[in-house]
Amino acid sequence: MIVTLTPNPSLDRTVELAEPLARGAVQRAVGDSQEPGGKGVNICRALQATGAPCLAVLPGDADDPVMLALVAQRIPHVGLPIGTPLRSNVALTEPDGTTTKVNAPGPSLRADQQAALVELVLARVTGARWLVLAGSLPGGVPDDFYAGLVRELRARLGAAAPRVAVDASGPPLAAAVAAHPDLLKPNAEELAELTGVGDGPGLETDPSLAAAAARSLVDAGVGAVLATLGSQGAVLVTAEGSWLGRTPPMVPRSTVGAGDSALAGYLLADLAGSSAPDRLRQAVAHGAAAASLPGSTVPALEQTRPDAVTVTAVATHPMEDDQWVL
């Protein structure tokens, strides 16, 4: 069982354009889809597509459109009523896969609602293999929310606590590092911001530098780092080694949720007892399959091509001590 927490869920609408986006113009769409969203929800959707047991935990009233969409898709979930509508996001995808996203801020959560959400998670993780803390934090929630939850989980459950993966950005991701999660899943831009090494485009084109940045996080106590590098694949760094996974060149249809699918692929391979290189192989295959599908569609395992993913060991650039500051 994998449990995900999505503190700031959404109803995600994806509009597929036949031509490049033209600001200020009127354009016709060739596709229009709507899915329950937020990183943890997307991960559960991808796991559910393969039949892996997953439970999505999120704030939201039972009659909210996001919750109704989860019911309609038969995604196992449990919601915390908050008496406020959840947000809606819009993504515009162009023929070459370029994606423009407009994300609404979402409702704020009071301190008592935050505490109730933590208790809801802790009540549902017994026997789970992984807890995934994913996505942005809503208004009113402190940056160290994920870090505090990790510490509370381990304090209460001890050795029975599930492993923890964090997929976030900005200050919440930086704060989570200090709690030593078992897995971080940044993209290149998030990894650069977190470590102060290079920038997003630079890390995408230099896997050795990306691996070095990820290595600094593992050296700081993070169990493993799966860093997605867009069309360049992904790197996985653990205490045992560093690897780069790549697929043959492809023209993406939509990149919405590709990173979430990559993390789902990694978790599926982990549940199957796969080695680190094979976990990376499935992660890259899942991400590529998601990018080839319209909107925020997630792939099932049989739609992925791990056999087409090349995984190689990657050396890391030497880094100066002042190149990374938490």
> pLDDT tens-digit profile of 5-53?
999 999 999 899 999 999 999 999 998 888 999 999 999 999 999 999 9
Q: Where do the structural domains in the chain lie, given as residue ranges?
A: 2-12+35-86+106-323
What is residue 316's predicted lDDT score, i.e. its pLDDT? 72
What confidence tens digit (pLDDT) does each residue in 63-122 have? 999 999 999 999 999 999 999 999 999 989 898 888 898 998 889 999 999 999 999 999
Q: Would the pLDDT of 325 be above 50? A: no
Average pLDDT over all residues of the chain: 93
Q: Would the pLDDT of 157 be above 60? A: yes
Distances (CA, A) of 83 to 38, 55, 121, 202, 231: 19, 22, 19, 44, 41
Nearest to 31 by CA among 95, 76, 82: 95
Cα–Cα distance measured from residue 87 to residue 110, given in angstroms and rounded to the nearest whole number: 17
Average pLDDT of span 277-292: 95
Residues whose CB falls within 8 Å of the CB of residue 35, separated by 6 or more in sequence, listed in order: 11, 12, 14, 45, 69, 73, 295, 296, 297
Q: Please, which residues bridge with residue 99 across strands?
A: 93
What is residue 319's predicted lDDT score, i.e. its pLDDT? 52
What confidence tens digit (pLDDT) does each residue in 225-244 have? 999 999 899 999 999 999 99
Cα–Cα distance measured from residue 213 to residue 36, given in angstroms and rounded to the nearest whole number: 33
Are 323 and 195 in contact by the 8 Å Cβ rule? The answer is yes
Helix (H) or strand (E) holding 72: helix 65-72
Place of tokens 């994606």: 99
Label residue 323 by pLDDT band (50, 70, 90).
very low
Are 234 and 271 in contact by the 8 Å Cβ rule? The answer is no
What is residue 321's predicted lDDT score, i.e. its pLDDT? 45
What is residue 317's predicted lDDT score, i.e. its pLDDT? 60
Q: Return the DSSP state at 140.
A: T
- State the CATH architecture for 2-12+35-86+106-323: 3-Layer(aba) Sandwich (3.40)
Percent of the chain with pLDDT over 70: 97
Label residue 254 by pLDDT band (50, 70, 90).
confident
One-letter amino acid of 72? A
Burial 227-260 (b: 16+ CB within 10 A, else e): bbbbebbbbbbbeeebbbbbbeeeebbbbbbbbb
Average pLDDT of span 120-133: 97
How is 242-302 classified by DSSP, letter by letter?
EEEEE------S--TTHHHHHHHHHHHHHHTT--HHHHHHHHHHHHHHHHTSSTT----GG
Q: Would the pLDDT of 169 be above 60? A: yes
Cα–Cα distance measured from residue 182 to residue 166, given in angstroms and rounded to the nearest whole number: 8
Cα–Cα distance measured from residue 34 to residue 241, given in angstroms and rounded to the nearest whole number: 40
Label residue 322 by pLDDT band (50, 70, 90).
very low
More confident residue, 220 or 294: 220
Q: Would the pLDDT of 324 be above 70? A: no
**Whether the model pTM is above 0.85:** yes
More confident residue, 16 or 154: 154
What is residue 320's predicted lDDT score, i.e. its pLDDT? 46
Q: Helices (DSSP H) in 5-50: which residue ranges?
A: 39-50
What is residue 249's predicted lDDT score, i.e. its pLDDT? 86
What is residue 326's predicted lDDT score, i.e. its pLDDT? 35
Lowest mean pLDDT among 97-101, 211-215, 245-249, 301-305: 97-101
Tokens of 300: 């099932």
What is residue 297's predicted lDDT score, i.e. its pLDDT? 82
Q: Would the pLDDT of 124 be above 80? A: yes
What confidence tens digit (pLDDT) does each residue in 197-228 have? 989 999 999 999 999 999 999 999 999 999 99
**Which of helix, strand or coil describes residue 168?**
coil
